[in-house]
């Protein structure tokens, strides 16, 4: 089989999965970003097992380091959000939506939190490798971020 006959079905499959996702009302990531995790980072999985303790630690770290921008419930409406958006023209994301919950892997969220995002001289999102130095703690934050999605809302309602 030639290379192109292999590539085409893969591309078709990818685009039909995309169409299914769209049909379900799931939005893909905006394409205007160069903040994309390398494939090996996307594929990483958490070494921290799920537990109430891990979640509680993740929640505390989130409230300390993330909620000023992303809001206590992750809606992107923290007290710093508006000022930050004015300064950088990039509003903090709503972490509860499908852009994050369906389209980002745990490894990708971990990578983004670890390295942050700078563009030109602006800090769009701070890097947390230094403020949250233990890898396990950043994975606990990822575990907490996962509870901000719609599943959580259903459980609470
Ligand atoms: C100073 C404000 C600020 C703080 C504090 C902050 N973020 Fe963000 N975050 C942003 C902005 C702005 C974006 C959107 C970046 C863009 O436009 O691509 C973002 C995007 C994200 C994304 C989505 C990335 C994507 O591609 O969909 C995740 C996940 C995230 N932040 C998690 C966190 C976590 C977890 C913390 C705390 C450890 C945190 N953020 C702290 C401003 C902040």
| Nearest Cα to Cα of residue 147 among 72, 45, 43, 81 | 72
Separation of CA 38 and ligand 1 centre (Å): 17
CA–CA gap between residue 153 and residue 157 (Å, rounded):
6
Confidence of residue 119 (pLDDT cuts 50, 70, 90): confident
Separation of CA 21 and ligand 1 centre (Å): 23
Convert the pLDDT of each residue in 68-118 to its tens digit.
999 999 999 999 999 999 998 889 999 998 888 988 999 999 999 999 999
Ligand 1 site residues (CB inside 6 A) read 33, 35, 65-66, 68-70, 80, 84, 90, 92-93, 95, 99-100, 104, 109, 112-113, 117, 124-126, 128, 141, 145
How many CB atoms neighbour CB 45 within 10 A? 10
Nearest residue by C-alpha to atom 20 in ligand 1: 93
Domains of the chain: 29-156 (1.10.760.10)
Convert the pLDDT of each residue in 23-64 to its tens digit.
555 555 555 678 999 999 999 999 999 999 999 999 999 999
Nearest residue by C-alpha to atom 27 in ligand 1: 100
Separation of CA 47 and ligand 1 centre (Å): 22
Would you say 91 and 76 are in contact if contact means Cβ atoms under 8 Å apart? yes
Q: Is the pTM of this model over 0.75?
A: yes
String of DSSP letters for 45-76: --SSPP-HHHHHHHHHHHHHHTHHHH-TTSSS
Would you say 112 and 17 are in contact if contact means Cβ atoms under 8 Å apart? no
SS3 assignment, position 86: helix
Ligand 1 atom closest to Cα of 104? 27
């Amino acid at each position: 089989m030639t290379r192109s006959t292999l590539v085409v079905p893969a591309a078709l499959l990818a685009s039909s999965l995309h169409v299914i996702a769209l049909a379900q009302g799931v939005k893909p990531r905006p394409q205007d970003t160069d903040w994309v995790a390398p494939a090996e980072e996307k594929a990483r999985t958490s070494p921290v097992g799920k537990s109430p303790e891990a979640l509680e630690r993740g929640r505390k770290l989130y409230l300390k380091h993330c909620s000023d921008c992303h809001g206590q419930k992750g809606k992107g409406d923290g007290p710093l959000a508006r000022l930050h958006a004015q300064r950088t023209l990039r509003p903090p994301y709503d972490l509860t939506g499908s852009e994050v919950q369906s389209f980002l892997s745990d490894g990708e969220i971990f990578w983004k939190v670890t390295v942050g995002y700078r563009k030109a001289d602006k800090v769009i999102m701070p890097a947390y490798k230094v403020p949250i130095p233990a890898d396990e703690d950043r994975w606990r934050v990822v575990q907490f971020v996962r509870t901000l999605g719609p599943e959580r809302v259903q459980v609470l309602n």
